[in-house]
Structures are given as structure tokens and as C-alpha cells.
Amino acid sequence: MKDSLFFLRQWAMAPLRTAAVAPSGRALARLMTSEITPATGRVIELGPGTGVFTNALRNRGVAEHNITLVELNPHFAILLKQRFPAARVLQMNAADVSESVDMQEDSAGAVLSGLGVLSMPTGVVVKIMQGAFRCLGPTGAFYQFTYGPRCPVSDGVLNFLGLRSERIGGTFFNLPPAAVYRITRVPSWPNEALYHRAANNASQRELGASNR
């Protein structure tokens, strides 16, 4: 079955979770992976779907055994295991990624996120970002795409976790057009704070309104 039809079926079964009716295009995949090289080391991908970004990672020379794919949908996870047999495929919630026995702290150079974070509650976004940065080394970066005009991780969440975002580019050759943001640690911020500030303690005022 063609990927677009398979993807559409997954969307029909779980529209909010799938967050798109079709896989991302190649131009967006190239942009998402444009700063990644084999020297990046381990790459974690959250919400890989049919593996469009994973394929682009391979095209950039990242060895499959250096890629960890975290996908909640079991149908996508089975497909990913077939397509990328040497990659580590974890069928689990991205919000629990740092609790997985398969994950080690500071072990990754980059996290790519295909998650639809705009449709997620703030507490879940905080948990995903905390978990991802626990896995990322000190200079590691988190890449997130969006169809919207701003970084989809709100300023409130970024400030709360001591993170900052920068738009690295956009493409009209995607349906819909999309932009990619690089999220990194603010260098002066104490990293333990990022790890230990629990999502539950984040008051709505502290996190501010979302960027939507």
C-alpha cells in the first residue's frame, strides 16, 4: 500500500495523535536533517510515522544503528522495523522516552520531532522536552517542524525549561508549507533544573499562554 494511503488511514483512526493527513515531503525532510551529519552521533526521532525523516537521515550518512525511533502507533512501528532493520524502534509514548531502559542520559547528539505538539497539553509538551533534553548531550539540539508562524513550543515552556529556539528555515514545497526550529539549552541555565522541575509543578501562569 502506498505510504500516503496508509498514513491517511492512521489519521482516520486517530486524527489528533497522527496530526497530519499525509507524510511530510522530501523538502521538509531535507530541511529537518540539514544540520545533522554522521559526527552528530546518536539521533533520536520522535513520531517518525512512515520514516520520511529517517530516510533523510540515512541519506545524510547517519548509520541506521545510530538512530532510535520512538513511535506510539503500533502500525507505524511495525512498518519502521521492516524499513530500518538496524535502527532501534521503540513503540512507546515520546513523553516517557527518558524512562526507557533503552535510553541513556547525554547519549544523543540530536532529537528530531515530527510530533504535533500544538495539539498536546502543555504538561505533556514539558514532559517530552524534559525527557528529550535528558537524553541529549550538552551541545545537543532538538529539531521541531511546524505548519504555523511561530515555534510550536511556547515561550512559556521554553523559558520554564531554560531553552531557546531559532528558526532554521522554511519550505513551500510541502503540503502545507512548513518551518523548522532548532531548540537548544540556554548556556547559563543550570541543567539539573531542567531535569527536576516536574511538569506537575508548572503553574499555568509560569508557563504562560501557548504560542498558538
Interacting residue ranges for ligand SAM, rule: CB under 6 A:
17-20, 23-24, 46-49, 52-53, 70-73, 76, 93-95, 114-116
d(CA 11, CA 65): 29
Q: How far is the CB of 183 from ligand SAM (least distance, A)?
A: 16
> Distance between CA 203 and CA 139 in Å, rounded?
28
What's the one-letter identity of residue 175?
Answer: L
**Nearest distance in Å: CB 194, ligand SAM:** 20
Q: Of 57 and 70, which has the nearer Cβ to ligand SAM?
A: 70
Nearest alpha carbon to residue 73 among 49, 108, 99: 49
Please report how close the Cβ of residue 175 comes to ligand SAM at its closest, in angstroms: 11
Nearest to ligand SAM of 138, 176 (CB atom): 176
Q: In terms of Cα–Cα distance, which of 126, 174, 118 is closest to 150?
A: 118
CB 144, min distance to ligand SAM, A: 11
- Cβ atoms of 143 and 112 within 8 Å: the answer is yes
Q: Which is nearer to ligand SAM, 62 or 70 (CB)?
A: 70
